[in-house]
Amino acid sequence: MGAARAYVEIEAGYCGVSLTPRWLPPRPLPPTAVEPRRATPRSLARLVEKTGSPLAAALAVAAVNAATTAWMLETPGAPPPGYTILRRGDSLPRRLGIESGDRVALLGYMPGLAEETVRMGADLRAADYDAGLLEEARRRRHAAVDARDRAAVAEAIRWATVVVFSGSAVLDPATFLEEARLARRTGARLVALVGATSSFHHLVAEKLGVDAVAGLVVEPSLCPRVRASAAAGGGVHRVRGRLVHWLWRRRLTGQEG
């Protein structure tokens, strides 16, 4: 566990990384709460329920990401059914199903995704906790609100036809689930999770109530570099090497999975 990232490595060398939710009220996680050699993704998820600690959530998310990578790389066929490997030059907004005229609430500002979404002709509202990212969004002329203003975030969700959460949203499970349910109640046709933190198996995604997940595979040979990057406060994308981006989409009426 670093100041900015959590790193989990499971058997056979598969690894996962998560942000640590520094924007949430701190709730200490005693070192004795986790027994590394006996921990599983399920036991870490239960630790979140037991302690309410955002740090426990970061460990659980990183463990699920590692387990998802193990499943993807050890499942016969490439990619597993229902998954698409994204190639260089692929449009993620287009692959997600965002269309011109859509109203997109981007909860967790991702500059590249925001710019491409607007270029496609969609309207965008963004929310983030990070002051620097909010400043950048406004400099690029995007409507943006501080994510601590829950009323403003709820208004953006009600306005939207598409709601895209940054993967870090799941580190505050109660808030994320409440907002995902609000998106469903107010008629959003697409709810998605995007980013390295949300590299979730589709069964997890379905339980969370989302239609699509965009994540990545970290090959085991890169895990020592990922661990070093996480220890230094960096993320997966600072690592030089082959990172495989993928997309899972729930099968919708009249569409392919």
Q: Where are the alpha helices (DSSP H) in 101-201?
A: 111-119, 131-139, 150-159, 173-185
In total, the chain counts a number of residues equal to 257
13 versus 52: the higher-pLDDT residue is 13
Helix (H) or strand (E) holding 68: helix 54-74
Average pLDDT score over residue span 175-203: 93
Residue 252 has a pLDDT of 54
Residue 241: is its pLDDT beyond 80?
no
Judged by average pLDDT, the poorest of 30-34, 39-43, 180-184, 200-204 is 30-34
All domains of the chain in start order, with CATH:
83-214+244-249 (3.40.50.11590)
The pTM of the full predicted model, rounded to 2 decimals, is 0.90
Average pLDDT score over residue span 78-100: 89
Nearest to 228 by CA among 2, 18, 60: 2
Average pLDDT score over residue span 145-171: 95
SS3 label, residue 216: strand
Residue 254: is its pLDDT beyond 50?
no
Could you tell me if 142 and 105 are in contact, meaning their C-beta atoms sit under 8 angstroms apart? no
Residue 139 has a pLDDT of 96
pLDDT tens, residue by residue, 160-172: 999 999 988 999 9
Average pLDDT score over residue span 38-49: 88
CA distances from 10 to 146, 227, 228 (A): 36, 13, 16
Residue 255 has a pLDDT of 43
CA distance 187 to 191: 10
Could you tell me if 122 and 100 are in contact, meaning their C-beta atoms sit under 8 angstroms apart? yes
Could you tell me if 136 and 109 are in contact, meaning their C-beta atoms sit under 8 angstroms apart? yes
Residue 256 has a pLDDT of 41
Q: What are phi and psi of 124, to 5 degrees?
A: -135, 135
What is the percent of the chain where pLDDT is above 90? 59
pLDDT tens, residue by residue, 210-240: 999 999 999 999 999 999 999 988 888 778 7
